[in-house]
Amino acid sequence: MPRVSQDHLDARRRQILDGARVCFARHGYEGATVRRLEEIIGLSRGAIFHHFKDKESLFLALAEDDAARMAEVVAEQGLVQVMRDLLAGDSEHPADWLGTRLEVSRRLRTDPEFRERWAERSRQLTTATRRRLLRKREAGQLRDDIDVVILTSFLELVLEGVVSHLAMGLPADDLEPVLDLVEETTRKHHHRGA
């Protein structure tokens, strides 16, 4: 019997994650039943759970995948760009990123085991943000009167605010000038007046 190629396995895993992302965004963690996952992904439960131990593992893999994609955007363009992508819906999965991000936030608040499992994974975005800020500082583009750790926390708090704003159904266009202000507050200003 021929072995399934790694490319096929990777494609199947991607299909499962993409479908699960849609399902969790649409129905939340609790509402994403196995039956709904099967319908949206287009595979049987056996095929889905051959790749992932259970629904919890599938959600965690999805959240990790989204965090890794966000970290890539951060490394190239910064955390504010992740926020802009969430607002504009023009990155690969920004609207679904929002659904995953909201579900992660809810589970962090209500599920101590998930919080413990997620702690290590959430450092990925923080690390990418810090590294980018350090590169910007070395290039003379980032203000140097505030520690990078504090600037990172500031940007992460703004991200959580953007997610909450969008979760409440408030208009995204209101936030563009706010994100401009966030970027402006982190830039180094060479001509400060008295």
Q: What is the pLDDT of residues 66-107, one digit of tens each?
A: 888 888 889 899 999 989 888 876 445 455 678 788 888 888
Please state, in angstroms and rounded to a whole number, the distance separating the CA atoms of residues 79 and 109: 23
At 78, give phi and psi (nearest 5°): 100, 160
User: What pLDDT shows up at residue 102?
Assistant: 82
Q: What average pLDDT score do residues 19-29 get? A: 88
CA 88 from centroid of its chain's CA atoms: 15
Please state, in angstroms and rounded to a whole number, the distance separating the CA atoms of residues 155 and 129: 9
Q: In CATH, what class is 56-186?
A: mainly alpha
- Counting residues of the chain whose pLDDT is more than 90, the rounded percentage is 45
Q: What average pLDDT score do residues 142-155 get? A: 95
Q: Which of 6-10, 47-51, 117-121 has the lowest mean pLDDT?
A: 117-121
Query: Rg (Cα) of the chain, in Å, rounded?
Result: 19
User: What pLDDT shows up at residue 90?
Assistant: 47
Supply 147's token pair: 């520690």
Distances, alpha carbon 69 to alpha carbons 45, 57, 194, in Å:
26, 18, 42
At 32, give phi and psi (nearest 5°): -80, 75
User: What pLDDT shows up at residue 92?
Assistant: 52
Is residue 25 predicted with pLDDT exceeding 50? Answer: yes
Q: In the chain, what are the domain boundaries? A: 56-186
User: What pLDDT shows up at residue 65?
Assistant: 87
User: What pLDDT shows up at residue 3?
Assistant: 64
